[in-house]
Amino acid sequence: MNLIRCLHITSAREAIHEMGRMGLDATGTQLMKGKAIHLNLKVEGIPPRTANQLKQEMLALGGDAALDGRGLDCSVREIDAILMGTQEQFERLLLKLGQSPDLRPLEQSLKETLTNISKTHYSIRCRKRTFTLGKETLLMGVLNVTPDSFSDGGLYFDREKAIAHGLKMVEEGADFIDVGGESTRPGSKPIGLEEELRRVIPVIESLAKEVDVPISIDTYKSGVAQRAIEAGAEMINDISGLNLDPNLAHVAVREDVPLILMHIRGTPETMQKDVHYDSLFSEILRYLKESIKRAESAGVDPGQIIIDPGIGFGKTVEDNLLIIKNLSEFRILGKPILLGTSRKSFIGRILNAEVTERLEGTLSSIAIGVLTGAHIIRCHDVLQAKRAIAVADAIRLAGA
């Protein structure tokens, strides 16, 4: 009796592995691997004439394109198109588009997208060491030196307790320690520069002398970032994606440190008021693309940028779930992805649980995030998260 399997192939590596197992030779594998990967690429805001041309080209190559019906009679200025085909068909489409001067900008965008989604590994340089992202998922421990953070407000506001907790997280396996001195919980108000410095600098100075893992400064203020790096920090984590203080990029350039750019809707004080997106992923991607452009224009090394979709920062419960489920969409930006779900309110809403009772939900979201594309996980509970990541990585890399 014949057995038919439905293979789940999402990368060239998986295609090569499956073909190799059935005995296909190297030449045949190279010819066929691009046909095993099917892609659905949505192109937004293009003239109907271009959309119709794309559909004809895809049909001629054996693929297809789904178009808004209004594009057929050109009754609107712009429409969206979903292009459906194999990786090989898209590569052949690029050759066709390159022959038309009017379509070369679209060709370049598609080429960049195909290049970015095929990336599996990244490298970021900190002063103490260089990390390869994409093999093992890395873990960033959260150290809030605040009296009012949503998850652990006040627990580590005392300097000595904060330092001791940072050392404990390193012992438990944290790859980075993210030190923050200002709460960014929904509705929180900003604090002054000097108060933020007073909270974080002594902790960073002490930890930098005692641990061999990089310390990240969680701030959107360039003045805090500069002083933190002078005190021993090796990474900047900006919740605003350079929207609250663009000068932060110049600090990253001057000090040559990795820069995390996160999406937020508004500010912590306003982000959860009247939350609405016309197109969730489109709006977040545009925001992050603009943040990346701003950073790179300032001189930040493109290889030193990490992106974070901002779970809980101006999103509904459903928004957060969709982001985690479809995290791989952010691969088109060509940057490693950081995911922070730890103890957040969407978990509390699902489980009807207070902050102190959200560990299982956090670990579930972490494991799924690893499988859907996260390169770095940011979490409060380091030991438990490290174990969850190890299992999720083993599943993700099975058969590699």
For the chain, list the strands marked E by DSSP: 38-46, 64-67, 79-86, 122-125, 130-133, 138-144, 176-180, 215-218, 235-238, 259-262, 305-308, 338-339, 376-379
Q: With the C-alpha atoms ordered 68, 11, 237, 382, is the resulting torsion angle positive or negative?
A: positive
User: What gap in Å lies between CA 327 and CA 340, rounded to an integer?
Assistant: 12
| Euclidean distance between CA atoms 66 and 87, whole angstroms | 17
| Amino acid type, 352 | N
CA distance 116 to 96: 20
Respond yes or no: is residue 221 known to be catalytic: no
Dist. CA 83–CA 42, nearest whole Å: 6
Range list of H helices, 241-329? 248-255, 280-298, 317-325
Catalytic residue among 199, 344, 358, 386: 344
33 counts as catalytic: no
Q: Cα(48)–Cα(79) distance, rounded to whole angstroms?
A: 6
Instruction: HSE, CB side, 13 Å, CA atoms: give it for residue 104.
Output: 5
Contact 259, 247 (CB under 8 A): no
Residues 6+ apart with CB under 8 A from 206: 159, 163
- Per-residue b or e along 352-365, where b marks 16 or more CB atoms closer than 10 Å to that residue's CB: eeebeebbebbbbb
Q: Which one is catalytic: 92, 315, 358, 378?
A: 378
Could you tell me how many helices (H) and strands (E) the chain has, helices first?
14, 13
Q: In sequence order, what are the residues at sequence separation of 6 or more whose Cβ sits closer than 8 angstroms to the Cβ of residue 89?
A: 58, 61, 62, 63
Going 104 to 107 to 111 to 117, the CA torsion angle's sign is: positive
Q: Interior CA angle at 222 toward 221 and 224, to 5°? A: 70
What residue has token string 């004080």? 269
- Which residues have a catalytic role annotated? 344, 378
